[in-house]
């Protein structure tokens, strides 16, 4: 029997972590899904923004030489955009753990145990923080870039996945 050495470094067998339930979705399929979701939501919110005067506010702000929109204006239109997103995506998120874009790309959101997260968890922990951060001038853009670039981690989890405790897998 080997004598126990209290100064020896610990020994542990390292095991590569693998998804509990399902193969991780590709980065490309996630990109296509978010592009599709953006097109779907913009098809609804674009006309609202146009007729609601948002684009005119942007033009006036630019003509006045201001670099940033007033925070109240940004917050108002972010709330409208998030509400539209939630209304458009609520059914597939609740029923399947997928947005419409993810459904088309045959990928879905699961928690770390492989189960479908609740609609509240998806909206309040996965999507809302990103939307709220986007309102903050400059920092919101940095936050968004960091969120997206985290997809290049080995586990392909973005910042919003880490916040919500989710991952995206291939769907059958």
- Of 17-26, 54-63, 80-89, 99-108, minimum mean pLDDT range: 17-26
Which is more confidently placed, 102 or 5? 102
Name the nearest CA neighbour of 111 among 17, 20, 16: 20
Q: What are the structural domain ranges in the chain? A: 27-170
C-alpha span between 161 and 164 (Å, rounded): 5
- pLDDT at residue 13 is higher than 80: no
Average pLDDT over the chain reads 90
Which is more confidently placed, 10 or 163? 163
Which is more confidently placed, 16 or 11? 11
C-alpha span between 103 and 50 (Å, rounded): 29
Give CA angle at 32 (53, 102), nearest 5°.
90
> What was the pLDDT predicted at 14?
57
Residue 4 CB partners (closer than 8 Å, separation 6+): none
Q: For 18-23, what is the mean pLDDT?
A: 66
Which is more confidently placed, 53 or 7? 53
23-35 as b/e, with b when 16 or more CB fall inside 10 Å? ebbeeebbebbbe
Q: What is the sign of the dihedral through the CA atoms of 88, 91, 94 and 100?
A: negative
- pLDDT at residue 136 is higher than 70: yes
> What was the pLDDT predicted at 2?
65
> What was the pLDDT predicted at 172?
77
Which is more confidently placed, 18 or 154? 154
> What was the pLDDT predicted at 112?
94
Q: For 97-123, what is the mean pLDDT?
A: 95
């Amino acid at each position: 029997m080997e004598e126990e050495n209290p100064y020896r470094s610990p020994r542990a067998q390292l095991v590569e972590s693998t998804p509990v339930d399902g193969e991780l979705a590709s980065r490309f399929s996630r990109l296509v899904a978010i592009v599709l979701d953006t097109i779907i939501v913009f098809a609804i919110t674009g006309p609202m923004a146009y007729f609601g005067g948002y684009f005119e506010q942007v033009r006036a702000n630019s003509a006045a030489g201001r670099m940033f929109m007033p925070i109240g204006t940004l917050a108002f239109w972010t709330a409208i955009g998030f509400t539209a997103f939630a209304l458009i995506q609520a059914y597939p998120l609740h029923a399947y753990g997928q947005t419409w874009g993810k459904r088309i790309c045959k990928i879905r959101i699961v928690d770390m145990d492989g189960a479908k997260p609740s609609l509240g968890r998806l909206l309040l922990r996965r999507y809302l923080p990103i939307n709220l951060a986007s309102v903050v001038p400059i920092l919101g853009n940095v936050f968004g870039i960091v969120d997206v670039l985290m997809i290049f981690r080995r586990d392909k989890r973005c910042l919003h996945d880490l916040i919500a405790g989710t991952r995206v897998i291939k769907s059958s």
